[in-house]
Amino acid sequence: MEWKTSAGPVDYPEAVSFMEDRVAAIREGRACELVWLLEHPALYTAGTSANDADLLDNRFPVYKTGRGGQYTYHGPGQLVAYVMLDLKKRQQVPDIKKYVFDLEGWIIGALACFGIEGERREGRVGIWVARPGGGEAKIAALGVRVRHWVTFHGIAINVDPDLSHFAGIVPCGIRDYGVTSMREVLGRNVAMAEVEAALRAGIHTF
């Protein structure tokens, strides 16, 4: 398996085009599996279940995308991991639900490296944490697509994004809970490279 890290912000259409080509190459045996770590410029994406009413303010570019889920935000300070794996090779019986469960476990394990307790919530997509001052909020999002049992799209962890940018959407269609970041939870900065290292160390989850 290969790892790819992009130093500067990657435009969303460029990322999707790359993933499309790589997924085809993996399926045809012309390329190995890949995890791509990157940040995007500020933008919103609308998954296959997105509700138009959940776009409250299109202050940033909005892209319709083939991943599952609803509206989400990407931007500087958020670490995105696009995961391109061949489930036929990795699972005795290809199972998308198990793959999503494993993605969640991967995030939870990475957060634990920093003393953050991430949790799953029944009926709510993403990883959730206790928020300073009470309540809970989402710290990481998931959105996947699978083509011929090769995965793409992936996860996004809020390391230190501008949380006010999420106000332009109803994140993942969930109105009753907010979003948070590793910086807000910990009260200190976390280097993006440290989070990348935690994800690399936990890839055995799959």
Residue of 98, 114, 187, 122 whose CA lies nearest to 157 = 114
What confidence category does residue 102 fall into, taking pLDDT thresholds of 50, 70 and 90?
Answer: very high
Complete domains list, the chain, with CATH: 2-205 (3.30.930.10)
pLDDT digits (tens, 9 = 90+) for 22-74: 999 999 999 999 999 999 999 999 999 899 999 999 999 999 998 888 899 99
Residue 143 has pLDDT above 90, yes or no: yes
* pLDDT of 98 above 80: yes
**Cβ atoms 155, 81 nearer than 8 A:** yes
- Model confidence at 168, pLDDT cuts 50, 70, 90, reads very high
- Residue 134 structure tokens: 């009470």
pLDDT surpasses 80 at 175? no
Pairing outcome for strands 71-74 and 119-121: unpaired
- Please state the rounded mean pLDDT for residues 117-144: 92
Q: Of residues 42, 116, 172, 192, which has the active-site annotation?
A: 172
pLDDT above 90 (res 78): yes
Q: Is 32 a catalytic residue?
A: no
Check: CB of residue 142 under 8 Å from CB of residue 100: yes
pLDDT of 176 strictly over 90: no
Residue in 38, 137, 126 with CA at minimum distance from that of residue 79? 38
Tell me the pLDDT band of 87, cut-offs 50, 70 and 90: very high
Residues 140 and 186: their CA atoms lie apart, in Å, by 15
